[in-house]
Structure 1
Amino acid sequence: MDDIIVVGIAGGTGSGKTTITQTIREHFGNEVSVIYHDNYYKAHHDLSYEERSRLNYDHPNAFDTDLMVKDLTKLKNGEPIECPVYDYTIHDRSNTTMTIHPSSIIIVEGILIFYDKRIRDLCDIKLFVDADADVRILRRIKRDVKERGRSLDSVIDQYLTTVKPMHEAFVEPTKKFADIIIPEGGQNKVAMEMVINRLQAHLNR
């Protein structure tokens, strides 16, 4: 539908993507729908918790991007979707889904959403959130330990073995596809004002 605008928000773990998403949601309220790439992690019900905890969740193959492309296309066409729900505490997709209805502004958020050309082509505005690596790892530790029930050692081990190398191999190179690169994430007031003004102009058409 012509009255729907899709905003892609990419960037490394802990870069500030969610802060930007929340700022846009708070400003526009019900005009915004959000889908997270993380909810499209592939299901691994056949593996044990220990096996699932050792999987590489920062590689493009970890995601069911085909399903996300289908769902995002539906939303852009004005159709509701049943979005999968990922449970970080068990490293697996849950058995529930959540209904997401299309809105005037659809935000797609994830570390690797610009890796797949199909998602890039569905985005009308592509934002890449940039932050120093030391800031990102500290934010990730704080989030994963407090909110996702992880141990400090497991977060550090995962960061060094998969998160950091995958960021360098797959996430950082997608910066070139962005329309706007936002240093310091949601703390960048000038960039946020520009993005909000652009979205407000779309709603005012």
Structure 2
Amino acid sequence: MNRKPVIIGVAGGSGSGKTTVANEVYSQFPAHSILMLEQDAYYKNQSHLPMEERLKTNYDHPLAFDNDLIIDHLTKLLERKAIEKPVYDYANHTRSEDVIHVEPRDVIILEGILILEDERLRDLMDIKLFVDTDSDLRIIRRLMRDIQERGRTIDSVIDQYTSVVRPMHLQFIEPTKRYADIIVPEGGHNHVAIDLMVTKIKTILEEKAMI
């Protein structure tokens, strides 16, 4: 008898440390029993739009994501069916033609800024986390990441943060905190919260007789 996998949602603002938390949880389980789905992989396909329209994309808005496809893929994984995860091409601001084959696992971590915004997604999750980090730390982390990894200038990062990222966070991301089962302060540095999380997941898996 196939047991339904456990789905863990890890949400939080840009630079909150949610990816670090998700990776920390991921590292506590054998690779054959856990997989990670990033909401960032599910930005909508924009190949039908001219480039000038694609450049206007607000990647911090709920409408930027193809939640229908995420739900379809999670449903398949819950049925123990494999999926073809999309790959997003940030240079061309649309979905790549490449896909990544993903086999079902006992534990699925869904990580992203707005995964708690859609009730349909929330209803699929067994555990919902919100990584809560002060805005000054988040902007510093975003600055360092975008300058070092994406070749951005300080001015461009600050302009994007103040004009788009911050208002979107306050309007859409911060309010989803109320849906979380667990709020993790200070992201990946909160080892106590991560240890509790791992223990809880193992308890659920034991109850489902998966381990």
The within-5 A match list for 1:124-135 is 124-135=126-137
1:160 is displaced (CA, Å) by 1.0
> 2:83 & 2:157 partners in 1: Cα distance?
32
1:51 is displaced (CA, Å) by 4.4
Match for residue 141 of structure 1? Answer: 143
Match for residue 25 of structure 2? Answer: 24
1:138 is displaced (CA, Å) by 1.2
Match for residue 103 of structure 1? Answer: 105
| 1:60 aligned partner, one-letter code | P
SS of 2:130's equivalent in the other structure is strand
> 2:25 & 2:187 partners in 1: Cα distance?
12
| 1:94 aligned partner, one-letter code | S
With over 3 angstroms needed to count, the CA separation of the structure-2 counterparts of 1:110 and 1:43, relative to structure 1, is same
1:47 is displaced (CA, Å) by 2.6
Match for residue 87 of structure 2? Answer: 85
> 2:144 & 2:204 partners in 1: Cα distance?
36
The alignment of Structure 1 onto Structure 2 pairs a total of residues equal to 204
8 Å contact 1:34–1:106 — kept in the other structure? yes
| 2:25 aligned partner, one-letter code | I
Match for residue 177 of structure 2? Answer: 175
Match for residue 198 of structure 1? Answer: 200
| 2:149 aligned partner, one-letter code | E
Of stretches 115-124 and 73-82 in structure 1, the one that deviates more from structure 2 is 73-82
Match for residue 47 of structure 1? Answer: 50
Match for residue 33 of structure 1? Answer: 35
With over 3 angstroms needed to count, the CA separation of the structure-2 counterparts of 1:34 and 1:144, relative to structure 1, is same
Matched, 1:114 2:147: no
8 Å contact 1:129–1:184 — kept in the other structure? yes
> 2:160 & 2:46 partners in 1: Cα distance?
18
| 1:110 aligned partner, one-letter code | G
> 1:190 & 1:64 partners in 2: Cα distance?
34
| 1:23 aligned partner, one-letter code | E
Structure 2: runs of 5 or more not aligned: none
SS of 1:28's equivalent in the other structure is coil
In angstroms, what is the RMSD of aligned CA positions?
1.5
> 2:191 & 2:115 partners in 1: Cα distance?
24
TM-score (norm 2): 0.91
Match for residue 60 of structure 2? Answer: 58
Of stretches 143-152 and 77-86 in structure 1, the one that deviates more from structure 2 is 143-152
SS of 1:102's equivalent in the other structure is coil
> 1:5 & 1:38 partners in 2: Cα distance?
21
| 2:26 aligned partner, one-letter code | R
> 1:36 & 1:149 partners in 2: Cα distance?
22
Instruction: Tell me the alpha carbon deviations over residues 71-94 of structure 1, each in whole angstroms, 9 at most, x when there is no partner.
Output: 111111111111111133443321
| 2:85 aligned partner, one-letter code | C
Identity %: 50
Structure 1: runs of 5 or more not aligned: none
| 1:24 aligned partner, one-letter code | V
Instruction: Tell me the alpha carbon deviations over residues 79-130 of structure 1, each in whole angstroms, 9 at most, x when there is no partner.
Output: 1111111133443321111111111110001111111000000000000000
